[in-house]
Amino acid sequence: MIRSALVSALLAAAVLAAPLAQAQMTDAQKLERNKKNVVEFYNAVLNEKNFEKAKTYVGATYVQHNPIGADGLEGIKGFINFLRTKFPDNKSEIKRVFAEGHYVIVHVHAVREPGTRGNAIFDLFRLDDDGKVLEHWDAVQPIPDPATALNKNGMF
């Protein structure tokens, strides 16, 4: 009887724990999906300069917090056209990707003109429940001459 009660209790605990494990796995999968979508969106905009591809990663709205960019799909299209015209060789290399909830951060080395040091950038994206980009913030820092840096740590 004790053995039967113990088996029943263990079985009940396993049944109750299964949905919790599934929910955690689903959250992890969402984070990975969000990171993947941001990386693909980022590459479509900055490296491929492909508006048609980029817009597939955008949700119902797109709010831009960089003061030189406009909101919405037209803002993204305008930025891509700016890059094509002014910086056709622009390349951005994502060094790190972090995700938490509906947010994804990328740490990027962006070089607008070949042969220059470029910029170190942190971009923050907010995504909807379906993994579509809704909002963007960024912080940009020019990469200094290593000879003038007060440390040898580098930007990445």
Residue 100 within any structural domain of the chain:
yes
pTM over 0.85: no
What tokens appear for 114 in the block?
């070949």
Residue range 143-149: mean pLDDT, rounded = 95
SS3 per residue for 34-84: HHHHHHHHHHHHHHCCCHHHHHCCEEEEEEECCCCCCCHHHHHHHHHHHHH
Q: Give the pLDDT of residue 17.
A: 52
CB 142 within 8 A of CB 68: no
Residue 105 within any structural domain of the chain:
yes
Residue 110 within any structural domain of the chain:
yes
12 three-class SS? helix
From 141, 85, 134, select the one nearest 110 (Cα to Cα): 141
Each residue of 98-131: pLDDT tens digit?
Answer: 999 999 999 999 999 999 999 999 999 999 999 9
32 three-class SS? helix
What's the domain count of the chain?
A: 1
Residue 38 within any structural domain of the chain:
yes
Residue 88 has pLDDT above 80, yes or no: yes
CB 30 within 8 A of CB 38: no
Query: What is the rounded CA–CA span in Å between residue 129 and residue 42?
Result: 19
Q: Give the pLDDT of residue 4.
A: 55
Residue 116 sits in a domain whose CATH number is 3.10.450.50
Residue 155 within any structural domain of the chain:
no
Residue 13 has pLDDT above 70, yes or no: no
Q: Give the pLDDT of residue 26.
A: 87
